[in-house]
Structure 1
C-alpha cells in the first residue's frame, strides 16, 4: 500500500478539502486527487463523496480512517528505529567474560544516555559481514590474521593490549611462583579446550606456541569455563592461560592461582572495528571513550604475533584508507 496515498487520504479527511490537504503536503491538488483515486482503486471502495463544499468521508472512508492513522504511526516508528541517533548502538563483544565486555560496561557507565545493544558473534568473518550489512555498528577483534586482511571499507583501531596470566591449581609445579617466564613454561602442558581452528585466537596461540616452544593443547570437548577450572584445580600436570581482565569466579576450595607471565609478556591485542560509512553518532563517542580509558596501558616488554596491526597507526596518506592491512 502506498503510504504517500494513505498520508494524503488522512490529510484530506482532516481538512475536508483536497486543496487544503495538497497545500499541507506541498503537492498540487491534482496530485492529491490522483493519490486518493489510486488508493480507492487499490481498496476497491469509494473513500470520499465530492460535494460543492469539499470532500466528505463515505462509510468505507470512515471505517478506513483509524487504520490509516495507525499505518502512518507504524511507518514512523519503523523509520525512527533506524534513524541516525535514534536506534541503539550495537556492539559485538565476542563473549560475556572477556575484556571487550568489561570495556563496554565501562562505556555504559560513562554514557548512560546512549542506548546500547551488546551482541556476541563467534568469528571475525561473521563480525565483518555484520558490520558491512549494518547488523552491528562495531566489533572487538584481534586483526588482521595472516592472509585475511580487512576489507577497505572496514576501519580499525587497536584499543587494548591485555596481558596473559597462567592459571594453575594449588598442586601445580609453578603454583607458588610470583611470576613465570615463557621459557619456564616450556615442557608444561597448557590446556585450552576453547581454541577453535580458524579463529583469530587460534592463530594467536598457534604463533605463541611455535615461537616459544610451548605445549598448548586444545584436545577434548569444551564444557565451558567452569568445567575448565574444575579440571585445572584437580590436575597438577595441567595449567591454562587466561587474560588479565577475563572475569573468572571459582569455589574457595579450588585455590587457583593467577600468575603473571613475563619475559616477554604475551598480550592479546583488542582492536575496535567499524564500517567507514556508518553514520551512528555514538560511534565517535565510543572511540573517544576507549582512547581515553585505555591510554597509557601499552605493555612494555610484551609479545604479539607479527600479523597484528600496530598499536599506533601512521597518519593517513592520500589515496589510501586508514587502518587497513
Structure 2
C-alpha cells in the first residue's frame, strides 16, 4: 500500500478540505486528488464525498481511518528502529538466561525510560563484526584473543567477573556441602554438553579443566537446559557448572543444589565491547552504569584464564 496516499488520506480527513491538505503536503490539489483516487482504487471503496464545505468521510472512509493512522504509526516505528540516535540501543547478550542479560535487566530497571533491543549472537567474531558495522551497539563477551588484542576501533572493558558454581542432584556425593574447592572436584564427572568447540566459553572451561585437572565431558547431544537439569537431578555421579547469575528454574521435586566453588573462586570474565565512534546517546549511559556498579568480590582468591 502506498503510504504517501495513506498519509494524504489522513491529512484530508483531519483538514476536511483537499486544498488544505495540498498546502500542508506542498503539492497541488490535483496531486491530492490523484493520491486519493489511487487509494480508493486500491481499496475498492470510496473514502470521501465532496460537499460544498469540503470533503466528508464516507462510511468506508470512517472505517479505514483508524487503520490508516496505525499504518503511519507503524511506518514511524519502522524508521526509528534503524535511525541513529532514535532507535533503541541494540545489545548482544549471547543468551537470555546468562549473566549479561541479567546485567542488562539491571540497567533497564535503573533507567526504565530507555529503549533496548536485546539480541543474541552465537559467534564472538560475528558479534565484533556487527559492532564494527553498526548492526549492534555493544556486545558482552569473554575476550580470548592473546593479551585482549582487538581492532583499534573497538573499545573493551571488563565489567563483571561471574563466580562459577557447581550444580548437582540431591543424590550426588557433594550435594550436602556448602562449598567445594576446584581441587575438590578432581575425579568427579562434570557434564557440559552445551559447550561448542571454538567458542569463548569452550576456551574458558578448557582452561579451567587444565588448571585444576578436572574432568569436563562435552560428549552427547545437547537437548537444551531442561533435559540437562533432568539428567543432573537423577544422577549420582554427574554434575555441571553454571554461572552464579545464570537463570535456572526447575521443579521443586528435583532437589537440585547450587554449590559455591572457592579457594580459589573461578570467575567468568564478562567484558563489554563497543565501537569507539558509536554515536548512540544511550551507549554512554550503559557503560557508566556497568563501570560504576562493578562489584569487587569478597573472596580475594579468584581464578581466571591467563588470556583474561
Provide structure 1 residue ranges, at least 5 long, that are not aligned to the other structure: 1-12, 16-20, 22-46, 48-56, 309-325
Q: Deviations for 1:62-113, whole angstroms, at most 9, x for unmatched residues? A: 415999xx9x999987765444431100011111111111111111111111
CA distance change for structure 1 residues 197 and 307 in 2, over 3 Å: closer, same or farther?
A: same
The aligned runs of 1:226-245 (5 Å cut-off) are 226-245=226-245
1:221 equivalent in structure 2:
221
Number of equivalences? 260
Alpha carbons 1:163, 1:266 under 8 Å: kept: yes
Alpha carbons 2:124, 2:199 under 8 Å: kept: yes
Provide structure 2 residue ranges, at least 5 long, that are not aligned to the other structure: 1-21, 39-68
Partner of 1:228: helix, strand, or coil? Answer: helix
1:192 equivalent in structure 2:
192
* 1:157 is aligned to 2:157: yes
1:63 equivalent in structure 2:
34
Partner of 1:240: helix, strand, or coil? Answer: strand
2:104 equivalent in structure 1:
104
* 1:175 is aligned to 2:175: yes
TM-score, normalisation: structure 1: 0.72
Alpha carbons 2:147, 2:307 under 8 Å: kept: no
Q: Give the whole-Å Cα distance in 2 for the aligned partners of 1:133 and 1:214.
A: 40
Q: Give the whole-Å Cα distance in 2 for the aligned partners of 1:227 and 1:73.
A: 43
Alpha carbons 1:160, 1:294 under 8 Å: kept: yes
Alpha carbons 1:131, 1:274 under 8 Å: kept: yes
2:23 equivalent in structure 1:
14
1:321 equivalent in structure 2:
none
Q: Give the whole-Å Cα distance in 1 for the aligned partners of 2:37 and 2:288.
A: 47
1:113 equivalent in structure 2:
113
Alpha carbons 1:145, 1:200 under 8 Å: kept: no
The aligned runs of 1:1-325 (5 Å cut-off) are 14=23, 57=28, 59=30, 62-64=33-35, 80-146=80-146, 149-297=149-297, 300-308=300-308
TM-score, normalisation: structure 2: 0.76
Q: Give the whole-Å Cα distance in 1 for the aligned partners of 2:306 and 2:37.
A: 64
Q: Give the whole-Å Cα distance in 2 for the aligned partners of 1:58 and 1:139.
A: 51
CA distance change for structure 1 residues 245 and 63 in 2, over 3 Å: closer, same or farther?
A: same
Q: Give the whole-Å Cα distance in 2 for the aligned partners of 1:191 and 1:73.
A: 50
CA distance change for structure 1 residues 76 and 230 in 2, over 3 Å: closer, same or farther?
A: closer
Q: Deviations for 1:33-75, whole angstroms, at most 9, x for unmatched residues? A: xxxxxxxxxxxxxx9xxxxxxxxx48467415999xx9x9999
Q: Give the whole-Å Cα distance in 2 for the aligned partners of 1:95 and 1:220.
A: 21
Partner of 1:63: helix, strand, or coil? Answer: helix
